[in-house]
Amino acid sequence: MATATATATATATTKAILPLHHRPTAATKNGLSISIRAYQDDFKLESQQNQKPSNKAIKLAESLSNMLYLHIERNLYHHTSNVPRIEDKHNTPTMSPKEDISKKWQEIHGSNDWNNLLDPLHPWLRREVVKYGEFAQATYDAFDFDSFSEYCGSCRYNRQKLFEKLGLTKSGYKVTKYVYAMSQIDLPQWLERSRFVDTWSKDSNWMGFVAVSDDEETCRIGRRDIVVAWRGTVAPSEWYDNMQRKLEPIGQGEAKVEHGFLSIYSSKSESTRYNKSSASEQVMREVKKLVNYYKGRGEEVSLTITGHSLGGALAILNAYEAAKNFPGLPVSVISFAAPRVGNIAFRDELYQMGVKTLRVTIKQDVVPRMPGIVFNESLQKFDDFTGSLEWIYTHVGVELKLDIRSSPYLKKGLNLVGIHMLETYLHLVDGFLDSKTTFRSDAKRDVVLVNKECDMLVDELKIPQNWYQMENKGLERNSHGRWVKPTRDPEDIPSPIVESYNNVLEMEDSCGLESLFSI
């Protein structure tokens, strides 16, 4: 009787405290069978002594019901909700396997405008898009945003350490050049300067890097790949309010591009330390050096340019210039959340020069609709009435459109900043199968990365928002126990002289002096 009474008490208590969708399953009961038998032994002992249920028995029954509730709460909750358990992925790789794409690289690079590769998304293309997206993300992760830092606006690490510090050593690429852009000519307020008067540079910001594939990666992807990664903005409002929104001629024809983007790309001043040459000139000089060197060795070479947001706009300008300077060089752009850059004539010139552009967008992101929300390429069908439309903005290339509603991990509210974040884009690319299928169950990329600098993950995952930052926000305790802002290692302090000297040494080692001076 005692056993029956105690068991009945536990069952009644459990039913009272458990919601219907948390009722114990057979598997759960089996998992608790050892604990239940231990309690029943105590109940049987009291029963044999003809005792009524004691306070001890009642407390044991209550403990059993509480224990059962906690077990179900921890182990069944995620299975009864729509959110997959990210704990199940903790012991799995964070990236898809690298396949040998050497025989298909031209198609992956856009030779056929990615026909039959986007919907459904070919797994080889998905892996490559994520790879280039991670290069663009590196320009954010390594950027010194701290306005109290005397190095605000620079990269935290020198280029030899960049990929090591950001966990990209397995990417198969080596950084060869840093790129800087002017920060005081028609630029938006998001390029905030340091609060220090005596700072590393009053005129420039680190805007990205040039990298090249190593021998192993070159063998896998079928050619020597030069990459240019451009940094963008964090929030759309930070630059859109300041964008000039006026078209300016580029080249000799009718092509025009947005004034502010072109200013960032091409501005320079002899009075500066880092921008005596423009971002354009820095990149083109490095690309020319690498193209000449590897083509001189008889290798096949490609140029892939990537960027997010503003970085995507700069990538398009970079591709336009590279195609003009290197006829026959395969040039592709993999952009994320990129705005419109130029007019229809600009787009047509890019097509004629063979530039291939894959634009990754999110349906709910407003930035890819700018500028030209109303007056854009959709008006081209009325050109009989409107004329040549030199004054409107148009997108370039092929679009891979994503939807935040496809992921069970993401909040569905209108979070403009979170939706626009590059990590949100990479999460959705990694989970995309096709336009009619939900998020793929075997997606590899770490879901936690989405919340690095926003609040996009559903609360059930219990991942802190904006969690990515330097430990203790960069402060360290010195030998006296006082918290101070540490000095940078000498090799991580920006120095145009040191960087130029390192470039010369590397070129002497790889090309020889005669080749260097011929560039």
CB 162 within 8 A of CB 208: no
Residues taking part in catalysis: 309, 365, 420
- Tell me what pLDDT residue 41 has: 57
- Tell me what pLDDT residue 241 has: 43
Instruction: Please say whether the dihedral angle defined by the alpha carbons of residues 421, 424, 430 and 436, taken in this order, is positive or negative.
Output: negative
- Tell me what pLDDT residue 393 has: 87
- Tell me what pLDDT residue 28 has: 47
- Tell me what pLDDT residue 415 has: 92
CB 315 within 8 A of CB 350: no
- On the 0-12 / 13-18 / 19+ scale of CB atoms within 10 A, 174 is middle
Can you give the pLDDT of all 519 residues of the chain as single tens digits?
A: 544 554 554 454 444 444 434 444 444 445 455 555 555 555 555 555 555 566 666 666 666 666 655 554 445 444 445 787 877 777 787 777 789 999 999 999 999 999 999 999 999 999 999 999 999 999 999 998 887 888 888 899 999 999 999 999 999 999 999 999 986 544 445 445 555 555 677 778 899 999 999 999 999 999 999 999 999 974 444 454 445 568 899 988 899 999 889 988 999 888 888 888 999 999 999 999 999 999 999 999 999 999 999 999 999 999 999 999 999 999 999 999 999 999 999 999 999 999 999 999 999 999 898 876 555 555 555 454 444 556 688 999 999 999 999 999 999 888 999 999 999 999 999 999 999 988 998 898 999 999 999 999 999 999 999 999 888 888 889 889 889 888 888 888 887 655 554 554 444 444 433 333 233
Question: Is 143 in a helix, a strand, or coil?
Answer: strand
- Tell me what pLDDT residue 15 has: 45
- Tell me what pLDDT residue 246 has: 83
Instruction: Please say whether the dihedral angle defined by the alpha carbons of residues 46, 51, 53 and 55, taken in this order, is positive or negative.
Output: negative
- Tell me what pLDDT residue 146 has: 81
Instruction: Place domain 115-402+470-480 in its CATH homologous superfamily.
Output: Alpha/Beta hydrolase fold, catalytic domain (3.40.50.1820)
Q: pTM of the full predicted structure?
A: 0.78
- Tell me what pLDDT residue 138 has: 97
- Tell me what pLDDT residue 165 has: 94
| Four-point Cα dihedral 205, 210, 216, 221, nearest 10 | 120
344-352 and 310-325 helices, crossing angle to 10°:
50
Give the N- to C-terminal CA distance of the chain in Å, as an integer: 96
Dist. CA 283–CA 279, nearest whole Å = 6
Q: What are phi and psi of 415, to 5 degrees?
A: -100, 90
Dist. CA 324–CA 347, nearest whole Å = 14
- Tell me what pLDDT residue 329 has: 97
* HEC assignment per residue over 231-289: CCCCCHHHHHCCCCCCEEECCCCCCEEEHHHHHHHHCCCCCCCCCCCCHHHHHHHHHHH
* Bridge partners, 227 (sequence order): 211, 304
Question: Is 330 in a helix, a strand, or coil?
Answer: coil
CB 314 within 8 A of CB 337: no
Dist. CA 220–CA 222, nearest whole Å = 6
- Tell me what pLDDT residue 518 has: 34
- Tell me what pLDDT residue 27 has: 46
